[in-house]
């Protein structure tokens, strides 16, 4: 495959050309209660071309390998048009020329398990959850995805690499009277099938919470101190801060970039945030990115001060900052964009008990339930929470949503736990000016954190 | 190719369905006032569903080039599959819908660049300091569905779209306007003018008081309302018995000022003669003067509920969807009926209220129950004037309570996700600010 791609590359009239080709396999099994919604083992192939000419850029995606030469020709011609209109010329930061293989080496390879056993495992967990009182709907899914990739560039890089993940997730809906509540839990997220085994207690505990929530109270609205659990804190750092550390998003937003100069003080001294794709056991681990740059560890916030950011070769050149190996595409029809690998808040020194004891009236939010950000504004849900009164955890609460401004909230992080954990399932949606790409190979982690003030918007 | 695959599958399976889609598109993207990239795609996708011994099997791939692999995948899948209570669609007449323009298909890249350059110049003349992003895209899509029951559905569609956006100074949020048509349009003057007006509204930031106040829902925010409602009337939620509208058929669920149609037959972007299962689509009222009139069913949920599909089986989802996804009940192309008010009249009529143009965090609201809790994106209105953009504002409520009290509906209609909506002025909702 590499030879075929390199031969086609030779025909390009562009100043720089690269081609990525993918051969992907996905196993999907999903149930809704006892009904099998999907069981499939499918394939997907295709490729993507990028050309730069006279400082202009063009990209092209194709499905049929026979269309490769035609695609390169169109892409090269488009880059020439782009170059003739582009005012501020684009360039690529220099990178090491790579050749050879960069392959996964899983502890327990999900591809070694037969489809029938994956199916039985999912049904086993489902059956346990169906016995939890008040639980009315269980949506469960098993997924594994193997992506075999080849990348060549006109600079001489020619590599073969792959990505692999497996996971099991459940969304558990409970109902009592008119009140419908759900919780969810995903396990796995990396290339290790072993993480999917023996997880009965984890799923059951989350199922029982869904049932309890149907009689839980709703939150008042207002501004309060909160403690976020690891899952919720990880979503916060991913959504609210992580996306702003992706340089491609800042390229077209100079006013915002001005706020985010390296050296800017963003939080208190206790705050350290890192992106590290070399942690292979977490969902975002990988060896090389989709423009042939090696994965590495990047400090984003060091002692409360902005220390670095995630880059493509193009943004690294434009910003004059180091390469970070964060350019990734989720499939052959997509161009790589700057993505978080494994972003996390580094462990601090506080215990959870100290955090609870420090709050007179506030809330403890548990379990991520979606999040969204636009610039410095963020909002996200929690699966459930507890009231904290006079330093003690109290009643269970439901329908929680919190929001705030990033910069103010980072300053308000007053305690950081000593209990860093990575979320087992990765996941991140980003368009980056193109179509939405849902990247399962994006991990996040955090310890418990205390924020002195956020806006809580409950059901009323 | 499709006929060949279908014939081969007949020898192995009792019933088969092939869905094939080709997409060709080109887009020109300007970022920060300069040409960021020219992008093109020539891509395809195929999904096959089969029944073997009453059991469902699924296969998918990017091309039709390897039929053997598709048949093997489908057989393997059907071996473990569940029995399904429905058959794939059968031969039917489809309504005449042609959302296709040869001129769009032939639209030259240089002309797309010209539109971007002119829009950029016109906007920078009025707002010299902003960082402006513009995308012009032409798209062409060809969908084919064939079943062993005789369905032969094919539709080509085109679209030319223009999007302009700019981040707001001192915040990270953006103002945007867009326009999409089936056939090429002249320079999108209205979108550019409205963009400039809205951008100027963002100069001040305002955090409203925490209280109940009137809310103007812009078309781009109405998709939250539509999605919450359409989840409630989806066959999926009905047979799961989790819909809050279970026993609300023919009952008043919204203000009588609201009539929501599913209208895939009128000539506008999103028009479709058949759904993604090859069932003819229907033009019908979902809500008529506030009264619930109909539900969204695909083949599967229809069979579960003892009804036929309403032609609403689509490979769409809030996240995901696409050729390889299973169809599920989804509206075809929504149309909320306009009335005689206007956005400017609504603004002028309010002493204190907000104009909601979007909401962040919608997907973490309990929207299947009608509940919406979002960070509000939009503008503050005081004494009949827009006084600035919203900052630090949450909005919460339940559409089945708040949309019972609608004061006015505009005559202007704009495209939002999933359909076309007017501006809707809701009497009051809970706003959380200071």
From the list A406, A205, A395, the residue with the least C-alpha distance to A301 is A406
Determine contact, residues A14/A75, Cβ cutoff 8 Å.
yes
**pLDDT tens per residue, range A173-226:** 999 988 888 899 999 989 999 999 999 999 999 999 999 999 998 877 789 999
Identify which of A115, A252, A377 has the shortest CB distance to residue B131. Answer: A252
Partner B contacted by A409 (CB < 8 A): no
Residues recorded for chain B: 434
Q: Are residues A62 and B41, on separate chains, in Cβ contact within 8 Å?
A: yes
Interface test with A, best of B27, B30, B32, B41 (most A CBs within 10 A): B41
pLDDT of residue A458: 53
Would you say residue A459 has pLDDT above 50?
no
* B114 contact partners, CB below 8 Å, separation of at least 6: none
Partner A contacted by B110 (CB < 8 A): yes
* A227 contact partners, CB below 8 Å, separation of at least 6: A352, A355, A356, A359, A362, A363, A364, A365, A388, A448, A449, A450, A451
Q: Are residues B39 and A59, on separate chains, in Cβ contact within 8 Å?
A: yes
- The ipTM of this complex is 0.89
Q: Are residues A403 and B171, on separate chains, in Cβ contact within 8 Å?
A: no
What DSSP element (H or E) covers A359?
A: none
Q: Are residues B242 and A434, on separate chains, in Cβ contact within 8 Å?
A: no
Would you say residue A35 has pLDDT above 50?
yes
pLDDT tens, residue order, chain B (434 aa) = 899 999 999 999 999 999 999 999 999 999 999 999 999 999 999 999 999 999 999 999 999 999 999 999 999 999 988 888 999 999 999 999 999 999 999 999 999 999 999 999 999 999 998 999 999 999 999 999 999 999 999 999 999 999 999 988 766 678 999 999 999 999 999 999 999 999 999 999 999 999 999 999 999 999 999 999 999 999 999 988 889 999 999 999 999 999 999 999 999 999 999 999 999 999 999 999 999 999 999 999 999 999 999 999 999 988 778 898 999 999 999 999 999 999 999 999 999 999 999 998 787 778 989 999 888 999 999 999 999 999 889 999 999 999 999 999 999 999 998 999 999 999 999 999 88
Residue B296's alpha-carbon distances to A32, A136, A278, B23, in angstroms, are 19, 22, 46, 27
**pLDDT tens per residue, range A288-307:** 999 999 999 999 999 999 99
pLDDT of residue B171: 65
The 3-state secondary structure of chain B, one letter per residue: CHHHHHHHHHHHCCEEEEEEEEEEEEEEEEECCEEEEEEEEEEEEEEEEEEECCEEEEEEECCCCCHHHHHHHHHHHHHHCCECCCCCCECCCCCCCCCCCHHHHCCCHHHHHHHHHHHHHHHHHHCCCCCCEEEEEEEEEEEEEEECCECEEEEEEEEEEEEEEEECCCCCCEEEEEEEECCCCCCCHHHHHHHHHHHHHCCCEECCCCEEEEEEECHHHHHHHHHHHHHHCEHHHHHHCCCCCCCCCCCECCCCCCCEEECCCCCCCCCCCECCCCCECCCEEEEECCEECCCECCHHHHHHCCCCCCCCEECCCCCCCCCCCCCEECCCCEEECCCCECHHHHHHHCCEEEEEEEEECHHHCCHHHCEEEEEEEEEEEECCEEEEEECCCEEEEEHHHHCCCEEEEEEEEEEECCEEEEEEEEEEEEEECC
Residue A180 structure tokens? 């419908």
Chain-centre distance of CA A21, in angstroms? 23
pLDDT of residue A287: 96
Chain-centre distance of CA B247, in angstroms? 27
Kindly state the average pLDDT of the residues A29-53: 93
Identify which of A79, A255, A399 has the shortest CB distance to residue B170. Answer: A255
Place of tokens 């399976």: B13
Partner B contacted by A89 (CB < 8 A): no
pLDDT of residue A225: 96
Q: Which of residues 362-391 of B touch A (CB under 8 A)?
A: 362-366, 368-369, 371, 373-375, 377, 391
Identify which of B324, B360, B398 has the shortest CB distance to residue A377. Answer: B360
Identify which of B39, B371, B377 has the shortest CB distance to residue A459. Answer: B371
Interface test with B, best of A37, A38, A40 (most B CBs within 10 A): A40
What's A111's DSSP letter? G
* A370 contact partners, CB below 8 Å, separation of at least 6: A380, A381, B361, B363, B364
Q: CA A349, CA A327: separation in Å to the nearest integer?
A: 33
Q: Are residues B361 and A333, on separate chains, in Cβ contact within 8 Å?
A: no
Partner A contacted by B319 (CB < 8 A): yes
pLDDT of residue A255: 75
CA distance B103 to chain A (A): 20
Partner B contacted by A315 (CB < 8 A): no
Cβ-Cβ contacts under 8 Å, A256 against chain B:
167, 172
Strands A337-338 and B55-61: unpaired
**pLDDT tens per residue, range A143-183:** 999 999 999 999 999 999 999 999 999 999 999 988 888 89
Would you say residue A246 has pLDDT above 90?
yes
CA distance A255 to chain B (A): 6
Max distance between CA atoms of chain B, in angstroms, equals: 72
Cβ-Cβ contacts under 8 Å, B320 against chain A:
438
Q: CA A231, CA B168: separation in Å to the nearest integer?
A: 31
The size of the A-B interface in CB pairs under 8 A is 243
pLDDT of residue B172: 61
Q: CA B70, CA B68: separation in Å to the nearest integer?
A: 5
What DSSP element (H or E) covers A101?
A: strand A99-102
Residue A276's alpha-carbon distances to A80, A258, A280, A287, A419, in angstroms, are 36, 25, 9, 11, 18
- DSSP-assigned beta bridge partners for residue A265: A305
Partner A contacted by B349 (CB < 8 A): no
**pLDDT tens per residue, range A60-110:** 999 999 999 999 999 999 999 999 999 999 999 999 999 999 999 999 999
Determine contact, residues B390/B208, Cβ cutoff 8 Å.
yes
From the list A236, A442, A190, the residue with the least C-alpha distance to A341 is A442
CA distance A71 to chain B (A): 8
pLDDT of residue A460: 34
Q: Which of residues 132-171 of B touch A (CB under 8 A)?
A: 133, 135, 167-171
């Amino acid at each position: 495959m590499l030879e075929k791609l390199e031969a086609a590359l030779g025909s390009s009239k562009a100043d720089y050309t690269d081609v990525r080709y993918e051969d992907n396999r996905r196993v999907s099994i999903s149930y809704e209660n006892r009904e099998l919604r999907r069981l499939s083992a499918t394939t997907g192939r295709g490729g993507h071309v990028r050309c730069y000419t006279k400082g202009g850029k063009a990209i092209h995606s194709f499905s049929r390998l026979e269309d490769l030469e035609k695609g390169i020709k169109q892409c090269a011609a488009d880059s020439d048009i782009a170059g003739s209109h582009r005012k501020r010329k684009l360039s690529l930061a220099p990178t090491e020329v790579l050749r050879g293989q960069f392959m996964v080496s899983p502890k327990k390879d999900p591809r070694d398990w037969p489809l029938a056993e994956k199916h039985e495992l999912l049904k086993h967990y489902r059956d346990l959850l169906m016995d939890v009182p008040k639980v009315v709907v269980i949506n469960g899914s098993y997924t594994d995805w193997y992506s075999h990739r080849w990348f060549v560039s006109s600079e001489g890089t020619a590599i073969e690499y792959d990505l692999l993940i497996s996971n099991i997730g459940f969304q558990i809906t409970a109902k009592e009277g008119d009140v419908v509540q759900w919780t969810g839990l995903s396990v796995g997220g990396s290339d290790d099938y072993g993480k999917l085994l023996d997880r009965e207690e984890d799923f059951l505990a989350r199922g029982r919470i869904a049932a309890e929530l149907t009689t839980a109270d709703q939150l008042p609205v207002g501004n309060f101190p909160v403690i976020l659990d690891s899952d919720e804190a990880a979503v916060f750092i991913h959504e609210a801060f992580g996306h702003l550390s992706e340089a491609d998003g800042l390229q077209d937003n100079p006013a915002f970039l001005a706020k985010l100069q390296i050296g800017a003080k963003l939080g208190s001294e206790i705050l350290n945030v890192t992106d590290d794709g070399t942690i292979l056991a977490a969902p975002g681990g990988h060896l090389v990115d989709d423009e042939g740059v090696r994965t590495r560890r990047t400090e984003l916030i060091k002692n409360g001060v902005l220390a670095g950011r995630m880059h493509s070769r193009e943004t690294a050149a434009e910003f004059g900052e180091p390469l970070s190996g964060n350019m990734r595409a989720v499939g052959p029809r997509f161009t790589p964009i700057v993505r978080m690998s494994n972003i996390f808040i580094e462990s601090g020194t506080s215990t959870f008990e100290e955090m609870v004891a420090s709050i007179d009236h506030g809330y403890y939010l548990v379990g991520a339930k979606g999040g969204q950000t636009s610039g410095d504004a963020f909002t996200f849900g929690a699966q459930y929470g507890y009231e904290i009164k006079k330093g003690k955890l109290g009643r269970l609460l439901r329908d929680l949503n919190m929001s705030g401004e990033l910069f103010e909230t980072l300053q308000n992080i007053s305690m950081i736990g000593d209990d860093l954990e990575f979320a087992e399932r990765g996941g991140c949606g980003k368009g980056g000016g193109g179509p939405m790409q849902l990247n399962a190979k994006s991990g996040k982690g955090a310890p418990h954190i205390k924020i002195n003030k956020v806006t809580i918007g409950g059901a009323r | 190719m499709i006929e060949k695959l279908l014939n081969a599958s007949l020898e192995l399976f009792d019933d088969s369905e092939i869905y094939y889609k080709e997409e060709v598109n080109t887009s020109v993207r300007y970022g920060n006032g300069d040409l960021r990239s020219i992008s093109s795609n020539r891509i395809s996708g195929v999904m096959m569903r089969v029944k073997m011994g009453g059991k469902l099997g699924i296969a998918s791939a990017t091309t039709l080039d390897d039929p053997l692999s598709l048949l093997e995948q489908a057989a393997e899948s059907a071996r473990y599959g569940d029995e399904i209570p429905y058959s794939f669609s059968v031969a039917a007449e489809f309504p005449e819908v042609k959302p296709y323009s040869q001129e769009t298909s032939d639209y030259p890249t240089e002309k797309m660049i010209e539109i971007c350059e002119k829009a950029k110049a016109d906007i920078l003349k009025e707002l010299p300091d902003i960082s402006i992003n513009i995308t012009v895209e032409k798209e062409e899509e060809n969908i084919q569905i064939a079943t062993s029951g005789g369905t032969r559905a094919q539709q080509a569609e085109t679209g030319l779209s223009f999007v302009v956006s700019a981040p707001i100074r001192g915040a990270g949020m953006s103002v945007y306007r867009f326009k999409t048509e089936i056939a090429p349009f002249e320079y999108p003057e209205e979108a550019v003018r409205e963009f400039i007006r809205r951008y100027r509204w963002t100069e001040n930031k305002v955090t409203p008081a925490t209280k109940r106040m009137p809310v103007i829902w812009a078309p781009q925010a109405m998709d939250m309302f539509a999605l919450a409602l359409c989840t409630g009337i989806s066959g999926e939620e009905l047979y799961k018995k989790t819909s809050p509208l279970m026993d609300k058929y023919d009952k008043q669920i919204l203000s009588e000022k609201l009539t929501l149609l599913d209208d895939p037959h009128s000539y506008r972007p999103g028009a479709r003669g058949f759904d993604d299962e090859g069932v003819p689509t229907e033009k019908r009222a979902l809500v008529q003067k506030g009264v619930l009139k109909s539900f969204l069913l695909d083949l599967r949920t229809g069979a579960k509920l003892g009804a036929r599909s309403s032609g609403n089986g689509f490979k769409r989802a809030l996240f995901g969807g696409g050729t390889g996804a299973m169809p599920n009940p989804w509206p075809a192309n929504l149309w909320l009926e306009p009335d005689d008010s206007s956005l400017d009249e609504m603004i002028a009529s309010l002493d204190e209220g907000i104009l909601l143009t979007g909401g962040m965090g919608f997907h973490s609201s309990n929207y299947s129950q009608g509940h919406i809790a979002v960070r509000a994106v939009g503008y503050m209105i005081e004494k009949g004037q827009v006084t600035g953009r919203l900052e630090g504002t949450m909005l919460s409520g339940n559409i089945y309570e708040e949309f019972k009290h609608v004061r006015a509906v505009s005559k202007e209609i704009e495209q939002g996700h999933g359909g076309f909506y007017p501006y809707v002025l809701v009497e009051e909702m809970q706003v959380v600010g200071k």
